[in-house]
Structure 1
Amino acid sequence: MFLSPLPEVDLPRPLPPEGVDTRRLRAAAAALTALIALAATGLVAGPAAATAGDDPCALERTSAHHSEGLDTWNSAYPRPVKTLNAVLVFLSFPDSAPLTTPQELTADYFPATSRFFDRASYGKFDLVPHAQRSWLRMPRPSTAYGIQRDWNPAGRSAYLRDALAVADPETDFSAYDIVYFVADPDAPGVDSDATKVVNFDQPMRADGTDIRRAVTVFERHPPDRNVLAHETGHVFDLPDLYHRPSDGKGDWDTYVGDWDVMGSQFGLAPDLFGWHKWKLGWLEPRQVTCVSRTGDTRLTLEPLSAGPRAAGAPFGTGDGTKLAVVRTGPDTAIALEARGASGNDSTTCTQGVLVYRVRGDSSSGGGPVQVLDAHPGSEACYGDSVYPPLADAPVGEGESFTVPGERIRITTENRTPTGAWTVTVTTS
């Protein structure tokens, strides 16, 4: 059964910067006629699966859409701690002959997106794409659907209904964990700002499996950098971290700047926050330190983007402590992690200990994470950074930073021979 599609709010585009029989097809089409108006709330929460619930610094998951609470896992979403298979379905329209091939569009996104997640997860998650080789023709012109960023509910419903109807005879949806509907980027009615994840308050049913969400891709060719990594993050229950101005004008990147792909696909340091890696199951318990006592706590933080140490290598080359957390309230915490120029962060323009506030009760797009600027009077990387005031946010070597509004002070002492940061957290 298909019910209300619930869209993610999507990233801004900065101005300079497999088979079923006919009976099943009819059943799927009939079910899709129940697709009704868009809702602005989150996907109905599914049953929980245990994660970091025993850690006193693990915020509780709340009813907020894409809550940053991680004491339990919302099993309505696939957890990326294994191999997940994704199908790319390519949709053309009767008003436009495609200028690209499915193979060319596949190369726009893969293997780059799989490599992003392989690095971010330290090899714990493998995203395997299965791209269909031919265009599937939608029954209506591209201009008939009204495709745009804030999409009319009726137009989006019609698009999804038609997309599933044409894909079902060619696609065994039971074989896949993730569905990407990729539209012909050159069709006249296609708008790249409409790229986003659509959730359903009740799952679609096809080929004996539930389809709880689909990624609708309307990107240009070539697409924006890391755009599919961002959208796929929503499939794993990660929130939007940017700030969308109420009038659509102004800066979108004031919350986290360059520091997580869920904030900006153009970020110079787009690796996922350590908090997100903890939430997704990519950090081991021993790699997260909960600072729960008053006084000084001295610790060594390995760079977040450094992978596991190789066999025989000295300890401290990637599998030490990655994240330190100070619980500050029922739904709030302060997190610390070391960010350096490696892995997904290889293009960062500054390095150091990044400090940010996490709110478990804030919804996607509502500021669930806020990077705290250790250098509020300066900025960096103008012309390259998505938000220069936060580009130099990390605490540098030999510096101290007092968290605004909290009795927490972070002091970085030095770097170890392996590149880790020695840090003292003082609470009172």
Structure 2
Amino acid sequence: MTSHSRPFFLASAPAFLRRGLAALLLLGMGAQRAAAMPPPTAAMLKRYREDGTLQQRIAFAKEIGNHRADPQLLQDAQRRMQELASAHGVNLPASTLAPTPPSAWRGLPTKGSPKMFILMIDFSDYPADPVNTLSAVASRAFGDGDGVQPAPYESLKSYYYRSSYGQLTISGNVLGYYRPAYTRASMGASPTVAQRQNLIKEALQAQAAAGHDFSQYDNNASGKIDYFAVLWTGPDTGWSNFWWAYQTSWNNSTTPLTLNGKTLGKYVWQWVSNKDYPTRNAPAFDPKVLIHETGHALGLPDYYDYDAAVGPKGGLGRLDMMDGNWGDHNCFSKFLLDWITPAVITSSATGQSLLSSGDHKDNSSFILMDTNPGGAFGEYFMVQNRQRVGNDTPYPADGLLIWHVDSRLDPAKNNTNYLYDNSYTDHKLLRLMEADGLEEIETFSTQANAGDYWTAGKTFGPSTLPGSNRYDGSFTKLGVRNISAASSSMTLDVFLVTDSTPPTGSPSTPTATTAQDTLTYTWTVGTAADADSGIAGYRLQVGTTPGGNDVFDSLVGNVHAWTVKDLGLRDGTLLYGRVAALNGAGLPSAYSGDCAGPAISLPGFDGSVLDNAGLAFKTIGPWTVDPAAYTAGLSSARSAVITDSSRTYLQTKLVGPGTLVFDWKVLSEAGYDFLTFSLDGVDQPGKISGTTAFATVNATIPDGPHVVRWTYARDESVAPAGDGAWVDNVQWGGSTTAAAVVSPASYVTITGGTAPFSATVSNISSSNQVNWSVNGGGGTFNPTTTASGSATTFTGGATAGSYVITATPAQTPHFPGSASLQLVSPSSVVVSLVPSATAVPLGAPVICTPSVSLLTDKTVTWRNDGGTWTGTPGGTATWSSSVPGTFHITATSAVSTASAATIAVKVSALALDRPAATLLPGGSATFTCTGDLGDGVTWTLTGAATKADNGLSTTVTMPAAAPLSNTTYTLTATDKRDASLKVTATLTVKGMDVIADGLLNPLDLLGFAAEWGKGAGSPANFKGSGTVDDTDLAALLNQIK
């Protein structure tokens, strides 16, 4: 389908329409389109902003009220839903039905062959185009079309005949043209509702006088003409204004009119054709807008978002006739219109089949509903098979669409309205569940795409993202899985989770990697398990403290990796991530351990380029140096080259209060791509767009630490050549807000001990000296005044306690820096050593690791009474002795010299004549021990081998049967006088299963032959030395004979 067939579809719409929609987003209106109205163009939006009429137009659109369903349609649908739900065992709450509205509230009947009329009006100053004859309009409204607009929008009648599965055939007459005696221009610049109705009234009276029978358009004998359309000639006067396209209702109290005993009901007021609106068929009449408006006449609401500043954004991602004038009506709308009766599924159902909804009335959708919804009756999910057939031909993909419906009634409106709509409430009446989990519609107001279809391999349930939980977080416990390949007949399994216990165990502690301003967490299932419903998903939390969730907290689906984005404001901050596993009922396991870091660390940018080397600038993009454009120095910072729908930023951290002064300019698509200044992620007023010269900005920074950022962002398309943003001459308050930063930020030493401190003062050029002080007589400094970055030595006083070290800038004393100091008693310092005691052979190294409590300075000094150090002992020390005996090693705190720890090390001369041996099955070896203390040794042996002790010698004999795989034994000689002195040897019998088939048989001879002559590493070298030879062969034959 070409782009002219779906003007609300951004990706394929003409550029100026896309500009218009994007501008609405930038105005905080999301996919703002007036109720029953086509959207404005970019030029219109620019004009409305300049003339100050934009908010008035938005209010006009809201007042029309087509974001709400027709009360009669609502009441009928609610009654049918109750009957369906009750038949499937759903426990219904009381008072869920709306009162029956008056029959006069009904619109166009949703079934049968209702009739309507189209009234054509032209003006002498805007005569009708010859291409729009009455017969041409009739063909595109009530006939089969004439090729001006291809299917599925070839005619009003054909579209609704397909959509209703032949249950609705709209017929009618085209009346006119009526030309009033006055010109359109004479109606003034801003005609009133009364003028509109009077014009329609005189045109209808003229038709009545000519004998036309209007009683035929009261399709339900309510005394009212259900629906008609008025098409006028001439240009529009702008979106959501008098001369635009919209649907409304006749006000009989202000303009009384009765025709053949009938009053007037709903009607559409729209252009015959509009060369400025992107239908691409001007000047020929295009029925698509009339198709959308007729949806309102049948009772359907708009599903697009009128105002993104209120409630969730994006509508249905334009994937519906009542959102984007695109494709067919969804299954919820078709249920409202009584065109389908979907099954209600409340429990597991294997092999559920669904036919394509574009050409099948029955078994094309079903409802997932909990049997105990309580007050949430009316909130459920609908599953629908959408293939590119019928009215769905223009859609981007094939597969299942899943809809979240919340059709609860509003008691404040006497249950005559739904509690929720898609524009102004906390959540939507109807929401498309995006299968890819990206939430692009709600987050960015983007159009739906192929990733939003549920296809083979995807699962929808309580623990997926998105999932089947209600808006309040409670579980429906229902889901869909085992989806077949997309086709006109698809199968799937509906499952109901009955698990009531959470998983045991927990996932593994995640690991994290950074990429600019993102953190990607990776984990495994760990010990998490659920015997009843399995592990179905995970929840990831990220916070600034262990166990915190102030940065991110969300279900992420059944994945083992997730990327948390846009963390630039957390630059330099250590973040903690953890995960919990969810079972099929959505119940969580215990959380994993916390993954600490790594901290986001954005690439730095040279502050001298911005004429401020005192601030630490960071960037993504990256930004570059531009020597051709600047206001100070020799260059400025220029934004990185970016693509459509992306951004790049430059930021720095400040400690307020103060005034930030900078110069900036931009070259961008005016009104759509912006350079924005933000404070802690909140955009500040005054963003710039278009082509500007450098301008100076003074920004007030409040008290406390802050992140300021300059962001250049492009929308989804169109940018001038060489576009970008420039920032220069950044001045942070001159010398009035220079603050000292003390290092270290905290320190612990003993009373009377010393500590080094330094302070750095930024953003100041004339004097950066600081004066040092400590509260409460905590000690003294030498020197008491230092230059920025230079050190002073603090000597603590005699009283233990907590103190504050203060570095006060000489020129800005109201911005001091501080550090915490703790003085402790020397006797409270404890030194410990690992190991606490040990026994080792001659020459074996002993690695000593000290720890010192309380103190910041953990340095120790070492002392020993024999043996030697390996190198110079420091934070750890390595010691050994070449003579036997008992020796002592001592570590003493370098700060608190009364605090020390000592360990005793026994050095033994005990040794075996060989440390290891490899033997054949049944083979033996003799080991001799030396260096005992005089009473001999005790021999011990692991495994099934035997030994024959003979004082300081023993002979070990291996079992006669060969093992299949290598088997080792450990022989230990323990000194009889001092059992802590031991020495060991390892004996190995090699396995003879040469071909590793788990058997010892003649086949191993074949494997042996291939190994002949190979070295000790060969599996056939059983003796463990030399090469594979006759000795090894004899040993093998002895085992398999």
* TM-score under structure 2 length normalisation: 0.31
The residue type equivalent to 1:168 in the other structure is Q
Q: Determine which of 113, 135, 140 is the counterpart of 1:103.
A: 135
Q: Determine which of 266, 282, 288 is the counterpart of 1:213.
A: 266
Query: Cα–Cα, structure 1 residues 125 and 161, in superposed 2: closer, same or farther, change >3 Å?
Result: same
Alignment of 1:38-49 (within 5 A): 45=71
Q: Does 1:172 align with 2:213?
A: yes
**Distance between the aligned counterparts of 1:363 and 1:73, measured in 2?**
24
Give, in angstroms, the shift of residue 156 of structure 1: 2.5
User: 1:339·1:351 contact (CA, 8 Å) conserved in 2?
Assistant: yes
Q: Does 1:79 align with 2:109?
A: yes
User: 1:116·1:344 contact (CA, 8 Å) conserved in 2?
Assistant: yes
1:359 aligns with 406
Structure possessing the higher radius of gyration over alpha carbons: 2
Query: Cα–Cα, structure 1 residues 425 and 227, in superposed 2: closer, same or farther, change >3 Å?
Result: farther
1:27 aligns with none
Q: Provide structure 2 residue ranges, at least 5 long, that are not aligned to the other structure.
A: 1-33, 43-61, 145-154, 220-226, 275-282, 408-417, 498-584, 586-1041
Give, in angstroms, the shift of residue 224 of structure 1: 5.8
Q: Deviations over 1:58-91 (max 9, x none)?
A: 995669xxxxxx9999962232110011211100
Query: Cα–Cα, structure 1 residues 416 and 379, in superposed 2: closer, same or farther, change >3 Å?
Result: closer
- Percent of aligned pairs sharing the same letter: 15
Q: Does 1:127 align with 2:170?
A: yes
Query: Cα–Cα, structure 1 residues 212 and 271, in superposed 2: closer, same or farther, change >3 Å?
Result: same
**Distance between the aligned counterparts of 1:388 and 1:324, measured in 2?**
25
Q: Deviations over 1:337-389 (max 9, x none)?
A: 11111110012221111111122222474442111111134989xxxxx9445
Q: Does 1:372 align with 2:401?
A: no
Q: Determine which of 197, 214, 218 is the counterpart of 2:247.
A: 197
**Distance between the aligned counterparts of 1:197 and 1:123, measured in 2?**
25
Alignment of 1:25-424 (within 5 A): 45=71, 51-56=80-85, 76-100=106-130, 101-110=133-142, 111=144, 112-132=155-175, 134-145=176-187, 155-170=192-207, 171-176=212-217, 177=219, 178-184=227-233, 187-188=234-235, 194-200=244-250, 205-218=258-271, 219-220=273-274, 221-222=283-284, 226-245=288-307, 254-265=314-325, 267=326, 270-283=327-340, 285=341, 288-293=342-347, 295=348, 299-307=352-360, 319-326=362-369, 329-360=376-407, 361=418, 362-363=420-421, 365-366=423-424, 367-377=428-438, 387-401=446-460, 402=464, 403=467, 405-406=469-470, 407=475, 408-415=478-485, 419-424=489-494
**Distance between the aligned counterparts of 1:108 and 1:180, measured in 2?**
14
**Distance between the aligned counterparts of 1:191 and 1:243, measured in 2?**
20
Query: Cα–Cα, structure 1 residues 55 and 76, in superposed 2: closer, same or farther, change >3 Å?
Result: same
Give, in angstroms, the shift of residue 189 of structure 1: 5.3
1:314 aligns with none
The residue type equivalent to 1:292 in the other structure is T
Give, in angstroms, the shift of residue 140 of structure 1: 3.9
Give, in angstroms, the shift of residue 418 of structure 1: 5.4
Q: Deviations over 1:266-312 (max 9, x none)?
A: x2xx21111111111111x3xx121234x56652121111236xxxx
**Distance between the aligned counterparts of 1:253 and 1:128, measured in 2?**
37
Give, in angstroms, the shift of residue 335 of structure 1: 1.3
User: 1:239·1:365 contact (CA, 8 Å) conserved in 2?
Assistant: no
* Corresponding residue SS for 1:347: coil
The residue type equivalent to 2:359 in the other structure is A
Deviates more, 1:99-108 or 1:396-405: 99-108
Q: Provide structure 1 residue ranges, at least 5 long, that are not aligned to the other structure.
A: 1-7, 17-37, 64-69, 309-318, 381-385
1:22 aligns with none
Query: Cα–Cα, structure 1 residues 300 and 182, in superposed 2: closer, same or farther, change >3 Å?
Result: same
The residue type equivalent to 2:429 in the other structure is P
* Corresponding residue SS for 2:455: coil
**Distance between the aligned counterparts of 1:44 and 1:271, measured in 2?**
19
**Distance between the aligned counterparts of 1:52 and 1:9, measured in 2?**
27
* Corresponding residue SS for 1:54: helix
Number of aligned residue pairs: give it.
361
Give, in angstroms, the shift of residue 197 of structure 1: 1.3
Give, in angstroms, the shift of residue 240 of structure 1: 0.3
Structure richer in strand, relative to its length: 2
Give, in angstroms, the shift of residue 121 of structure 1: 0.6
User: 2:458·2:483 contact (CA, 8 Å) conserved in 1?
Assistant: yes
**Distance between the aligned counterparts of 2:331 and 2:296, measured in 1?**
16
**Distance between the aligned counterparts of 2:453 and 2:263, measured in 1?**
43
* Corresponding residue SS for 1:262: helix
**Distance between the aligned counterparts of 2:102 and 2:432, measured in 1?**
24
**Distance between the aligned counterparts of 1:224 and 1:44, measured in 2?**
26
User: 2:118·2:230 contact (CA, 8 Å) conserved in 1?
Assistant: yes
User: 1:139·1:162 contact (CA, 8 Å) conserved in 2?
Assistant: no
User: 1:44·1:201 contact (CA, 8 Å) conserved in 2?
Assistant: no
* Corresponding residue SS for 1:168: helix
Give, in angstroms, the shift of residue 119 of structure 1: 0.6
**Distance between the aligned counterparts of 1:417 and 1:395, measured in 2?**
12
1:32 aligns with none
Q: Deviations over 1:125-180 (max 9, x none)?
A: 10113112x41013443345578xxxx7x613311221122222314321125311
**Distance between the aligned counterparts of 1:43 and 1:397, measured in 2?**
34
Query: Cα–Cα, structure 1 residues 349 and 389, in superposed 2: closer, same or farther, change >3 Å?
Result: closer
* Corresponding residue SS for 1:160: helix
Query: Cα–Cα, structure 1 residues 404 and 320, in superposed 2: closer, same or farther, change >3 Å?
Result: closer
**Distance between the aligned counterparts of 1:165 and 1:253, measured in 2?**
42
User: 2:351·2:491 contact (CA, 8 Å) conserved in 1?
Assistant: no
User: 2:38·2:239 contact (CA, 8 Å) conserved in 1?
Assistant: no
The residue type equivalent to 1:400 in the other structure is T
User: 2:387·2:488 contact (CA, 8 Å) conserved in 1?
Assistant: no
**Distance between the aligned counterparts of 1:109 and 1:126, measured in 2?**
11
The residue type equivalent to 1:226 in the other structure is K
After superposition, the CA RMSD in angstroms is: 3.9
* Corresponding residue SS for 1:348: coil
* TM-score under structure 1 length normalisation: 0.71
The residue type equivalent to 2:214 in the other structure is F
2:980 aligns with none
Give, in angstroms, the shift of residue 229 of structure 1: 1.2
2:1020 aligns with none
Give, in angstroms, the shift of residue 234 of structure 1: 0.3
**Distance between the aligned counterparts of 1:129 and 1:190, measured in 2?**
29
Give, in angstroms, the shift of residue 98 of structure 1: 2.1
